[in-house]
Amino acid sequence: MLTQEKVLEILNPIQDPFLHRTLEETGGVEEVKIKEEKNHVSVKILIGKTNTAEQMELQQTIVNALKSGGAATVGLRFDQLSDDVVQKFQPAQESEDASLLSGNTKTKFISIASGKGGVGKSTVTVNLAVALTRLGKKVGIIDADIYGFSVPDMMGVEERPVVRGEKIIPVERFGVKVVSMGFFVEDNSPIIWRGPMLGKMLTSFFKEVEWGDLDYLLLDLPPGTGDVALDVHSMLPSSKEIIVTTPHPTAAFVAARAGQMAIKTEHEILGVVENMAYFESKETGNKEFIFGRGGGVKLADTLQTAVLGHVPLQQPYEEEEVFAPSVYQADHPIGVIYRNMAAKVIDKY
Ligand X SMILES: Nc1ncnc2c1ncn2[C@@H]1O[C@H](COP(=O)(O)OP(=O)(O)O)[C@@H](O)[C@H]1O
The one of ligand X, Mg ion, none whose footprint includes residue 111, by CB under 5 to 8 A per kind, is none
Q: Which is nearer to ligand X, 19 or 311 (CB)?
A: 311
* Residues within the interface to ligand X (CB under 6 A): 114, 117-123, 150, 223, 275-276, 311, 313-315, 326
Strands, E, within the chain: which ranges? 29-35, 40-47, 73-80, 108-114, 139-143, 162-164, 167-169, 171-173, 176-180, 216-220, 239-245, 269-275, 279-280, 287-288, 307-311
The one of ligand X, Mg ion, none whose footprint includes residue 119, by CB under 5 to 8 A per kind, is ligand X
Write the DSSP assignment of 298-348 as a string of letters: HHHHHTT--EEEEE-S-PPPP-SS---TTPPPTTSHHHHHHHHHHHHHHHH
Q: Which is nearer to ligand X, 120 or 259 (CB)?
A: 120
Q: How far is the CB of 223 from Mg ion (least distance, A)?
A: 7
> Cα–Cα distance between 232 and 111 in angstroms, integer?
9
Rg (CA), the chain: 25
Q: Which is nearer to Mg ion, 122 or 245 (CB)?
A: 122
Q: Which is nearer to Mg ion, 222 or 335 (CB)?
A: 222
Q: How far is the CB of 233 from ligand X (least distance, A)?
A: 17
> Cα–Cα distance between 133 and 42 in angstroms, integer?
46
Q: Which is nearer to Mg ion, 69 or 148 (CB)?
A: 148
Q: How far is the CB of 160 from Mg ion (least distance, A)?
A: 20
The residue whose Cβ lies closest to Mg ion is 122
The one of Mg ion, ligand X, none whose footprint includes residue 290, by CB under 5 to 8 A per kind, is none
Q: How far is the CB of 144 from ligand X (least distance, A)?
A: 11
Q: Which residues, 6 or more positions from 201, have their beta carbon under 8 angstroms from its beta carbon?
A: 146, 181, 193
- Residue 252: which H helix or E strand, with range? helix 249-264
The one of Mg ion, ligand X, none whose footprint includes residue 275, by CB under 5 to 8 A per kind, is ligand X
The one of ligand X, Mg ion, none whose footprint includes residue 123, by CB under 5 to 8 A per kind, is ligand X
Q: Which is nearer to ligand X, 19 or 119 (CB)?
A: 119
> Cα–Cα distance between 196 and 179 in angstroms, integer?
20
Q: How far is the CB of 89 from ligand X (least distance, A)?
A: 41
The one of ligand X, Mg ion, none whose footprint includes residue 311, by CB under 5 to 8 A per kind, is ligand X
Query: CA of 150: how far to CAs of 54, 89, 126, 324, 342, in Å?
Result: 32, 37, 10, 12, 21
The one of ligand X, Mg ion, none whose footprint includes residue 120, by CB under 5 to 8 A per kind, is ligand X
Q: Which is nearer to ligand X, 87 or 281 (CB)?
A: 281
> Cα–Cα distance between 242 and 176 in angstroms, integer?
19
* Residues within the interface to Mg ion (CB under 5 A): 122, 148, 150
DSSP 106: S
Q: How far is the CB of 247 from ligand X (least distance, A)?
A: 11
